Structures are given as structure tokens and as C-alpha cells.
């Protein structure tokens, strides 16, 4: 039986840290890594959706991971998302991630063409073969990727002993039950949608990986603690407040990650720049939303911590 304890708990998605010219900023990456160490989260998920992976070049993604690994003192479990649409580039990132000593790599399916399952399995296994000593996590996000992980494809993938589980970002929490049942004790399921963190956990996800954890890690850690103590009422109250914060952050003209980075600057003094084109940066009017969301986060922390 595998020991998957290092993956259990709260795993924020890491953000693309940029300088004023929109290039990956080594200092920003290292500062954000130290911030997560200080907050006491279990690990980080680097270069995923929230890391704007789809809009970063291969060298930029390498630079992010290299600086994460430089700043990590070993206390954070590191999962590197390595998928690009091309198998070759994904393999290059997988090799690079293994050489840097990450705990696991993860991958979405190939996007745009709706490929048959045998082609998706081949893509994932080719990537995994490029990091033969590293755990592999399947990233299921059908609403964005255009294809869903089916029980049949998951069964096929579990023939690869490096596959340790699924990061499930589909909206039905029921899917989490299905992947937990299919994978059994030797595999792990990560909750994807932050808006249903507690529901996913109750359905069997032993961990969560999320795009909004980073702007309010304390609130997710507190929900995690409430779940452990079976204090479901408080867990639900926090979840409701967290969801109001997420809706607020999604209401700007600019992209949610631009809002998040502006909040991290205001609340935590982190300089992470804006977002990569074609994601929209903030406009002047968005600053009201940034201020409101930042205040909501402070208020919720005061209420529950």
C-alpha cells in the first residue's frame, strides 16, 4: 500500500508571478513560495490553470518551477503540472520537473481536438514515462479541457503504477465518489472546485487543490481543521463566506487571477504583477472590487480564526 499522506490537505495552486514587463519574476516566485511555507499549507500545485500554464512558454514554466524549488525548504509537497498540447513539450517539462525533484507531475488531457481515449492514455503515459521516478496525477477538468476522464480511461491509466490519483475539477461532487471508489485506498482524489471544498471532502477527497486558496489559505486550512473535528456547521459557514469572496473576485472586468494578485499585494505585500495575455488585466474601475474582496477576506479571517 502506498503512503499518500504528503498529498493530504490544502494545496494551493501557484500563481504566475510576473514583473512589470509581464515576464516571469524570480523574486516573485520565491516570495510566493515562502509565503505558502509561512502559511503552513501542505503543498503547492505549480503551473496549473491558475498558474496560467496555457499562456506561458516552456522556458517560462521551467523558470517558475526552478525558483519554487530553490525557495522551498522541503516543507511543501510540490506537484508540477506539465501538460502542453504537444506531447514533446510536455515530456520536456516532465523530465525537467523530475530532475528538480518534485513530488508529482500532473497533466490535463490534450485539448482542442476531441481525441479518443486510447490517444489520451498514450499521451499521459508518454509524459509519465519521461519522469519514470515521479508520481503522476490526472487532471480532470472537462468544462475547460473539452474531454472528461471516464471510469474506463481511469482504469486504463491505473495500470501505470505511477498514477496515484485524480485532481477532479468537474462540477458534480458525485464524480469524486466514483473516482474514490474506483481508485481505492491506493489512490487519492483531490477536490477541484473551491466553491465546494467541503462537499468534495465529504464525498471522499482527502485533499484539495484550488485556484483561490492562495489569496486566503487560512480560511481553507480552517475548513480543513473543522472537517477533521467534525464541526460541519462552522465549515459550512466558512464555505459560504469563501464563496461570496470568490463571486466578488469573478465580477471584475479583468481576469480573476489579476484580482487575486492585486489582493495579495494589498493584504500581503506580495508583488506578483498582472496576468499573461490574452487574459485581461484589471481596469481602473476594478480597484473597487479588489478593495471589497480584500476587505471581505480580512473580515472572514477575523470571524473564524
Ligand X SMILES: CC(=O)N[C@H](C=O)[C@@H](O)[C@H](O)[C@H](O)CO
Q: Residues 167, 222, 248, 276: which is the catalytic one?
A: 167
Give the binding-site size for ligand CC(=O)C(=O)O (rule: CB under 6 A).
9
By C-beta, is 246 or 297 nearer to ligand CC(=O)C(=O)O? 246
Tell whether residue 210 is a contact of ligand CC(=O)C(=O)O (CB under 6 A). Answer: yes
Closest CB 17 distance from ligand X, rounded Å: 17
Catalytic residue among 123, 139, 213, 257: 139
Nearest-approach distance from CB 161 to ligand X, in angstroms: 26
Sign of CA dihedral 266, 271, 276, 282: positive
Residue 246 in contact with ligand CC(=O)C(=O)O, rule: CB under 6 A: no
Q: Are 289 and 258 in contact (CB under 8 A)?
A: no
Looking at beta carbons only, is 144 or 155 nearer to ligand X?
144
Cβ neighbors of 6 (< 8 A, separation 6 or more) are: 42, 43, 77, 103
Number of helices (H), then strands (E), belonging to the chain: the values are 12, 8
Between strands 163-168 and 188-191, the pairing is parallel
If the CB atoms of residues 28 and 211 are measured against ligand X, the closer one turns out to be 211
Instruction: Identify whether 167 is a catalytic site residue.
Output: yes
What is the smallest separation between the CB atom of 166 and ligand CC(=O)C(=O)O, expressed in angstroms?
A: 13
Bridge partners, residue 74, by sequence: none
Cβ nearer to ligand CC(=O)C(=O)O, comparing 35 with 295: 35
246 binds, among ligand X, ligand CC(=O)C(=O)O, none (CB under 5 to 8 A by kind): ligand X
Cα–Cα dist 29/67, whole Å: 6
45 touches, from ligand X, ligand CC(=O)C(=O)O, none (C-beta below 5 to 8 Å by class): ligand CC(=O)C(=O)O
Sole binder of ligand CC(=O)C(=O)O in the list 211, 214, 254, 273 (CB under 6 A): 211
**C-alpha cell read off for 56:** 506561458
Nearest C-alpha neighbor of 261 from the set 65, 11, 14, 10: 14
Give CA–CA dist 179/142, Å, rounded. Answer: 15
Considering the complex, state which of residue 216 and residue 302 has its C-beta at the smaller distance from ligand CC(=O)C(=O)O.
Answer: 216
Computed on alpha carbons and rounded to an integer, the radius of gyration of the chain in Å comes to 18
Name the residue nearer to ligand CC(=O)C(=O)O (CB basis): 183 or 210. Answer: 210
Active site residue 139: yes
Given 13, 24, 104, 289, the residue binding ligand CC(=O)C(=O)O (CB under 6 A): 13
The contact pattern for ligand CC(=O)C(=O)O, residues 30-69, with x = CB under 6 A and - = no contact, is ---------------x--xxxx------------------
203, 173 Cβ separation under 8 angstroms: yes
260 backbone dihedrals φ, ψ, rounded to 5° = -60, -45
Residue nearest to ligand CC(=O)C(=O)O (CB): 48
- Distances 239 to 234, 236, 268 between C-alpha atoms, Å: 8, 5, 22
Q: What is the DSSP string of 164-188?
A: EEEEE--S-THHHHHHHHHHGGGSE
CB 58 within 8 A of CB 93: yes
Residue numbers annotated as active site: 139, 167
Instruction: Name the site residues for ligand CC(=O)C(=O)O (rule: CB under 6 A).
Output: 13, 45, 48-51, 209-211
Amino acid at each position: 500500500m502506498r503512503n499518500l499522506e504528503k498529498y493530504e490537505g490544502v494545496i494551493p495552486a501557484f500563481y504566475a508571478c510576473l514583473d512589470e514587463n509581464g515576464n516571469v519574476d524570480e523574486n516573485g516566485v520565491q516570495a510566493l513560495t515562502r509565503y505558502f511555507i509561512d502559511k503552513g499549507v501542505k503543498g503547492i500545485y505549480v503551473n496549473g490553470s491558475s498558474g496560467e500554464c496555457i499562456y506561458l512558454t516552456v522556458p517560462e514554466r521551467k523558470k517558475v518551477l526552478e525558483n519554487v524549488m530553490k525557495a522551498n525548504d522541503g516543507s511543501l509537497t510540490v506537484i508540477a503540472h506539465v501538460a502542453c498540447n504537444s506531447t514533446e513539450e510536455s515530456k520536456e517539462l516532465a523530465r525537467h520537473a523530475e530532475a528538480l525533484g518534485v513530488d508529482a507531475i500532473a497533466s490535463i488531457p490534450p485539448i482542442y481536438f476531441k481525441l479518443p481515449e486510447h490517444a489520451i492514455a498514450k499521451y499521459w503515459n508518454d509524459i509519465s514515462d519521461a519522469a519514470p521516478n515521479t508520481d503522476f496525477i490526472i487532471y480532470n477538468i472537462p468544462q475547460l479541457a473539452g474531454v472528461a476522464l471516464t471510469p474506463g480511461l481511469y482504469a486504463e491509466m491505473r495500470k501505470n503504477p505511477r498514477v496515484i490519483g485524480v485532481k477532479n475539477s468537474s462540477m458534480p461532487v458525485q464524480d469524486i465518489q466514483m473516482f474514490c471508489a474506483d481508485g481505492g485506498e491506493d489512490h487519492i482524489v483531490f477536490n477541484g472546485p473551491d466553491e465546494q471544498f467541503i462537499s468534495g471532502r465529504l464525498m471522499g477527497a482527502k485533499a484539495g487543490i484550488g485556484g483561490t486558496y492562495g489569496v486566503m489559505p487560512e480560511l481553507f486550512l480552517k475548513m480543513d481543521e473543522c472537517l477533521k473535528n467534525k464541526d460541519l456547521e462552522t465549515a459550512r459557514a466558512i464555505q459560504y463566506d469563501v464563496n461570496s469572496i470568490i463571486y466578488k473576485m469573478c465580477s471584475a472586468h479583468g481576469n480573476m487571477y489579476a484580482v487575486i494578485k492585486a489582493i495579495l499585494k494589498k493584504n500581503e505585500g506580495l508583488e506578483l504583477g498582472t496576468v499573461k495575455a490574452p487574459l485581461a488585466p484589471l481596469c481602473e474601475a476594478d480597484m473597487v472590487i479588489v478593495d471589497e474582496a480584500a476587505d471581505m477576506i480580512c473580515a472572514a479571517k477575523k470571524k473564524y480564526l
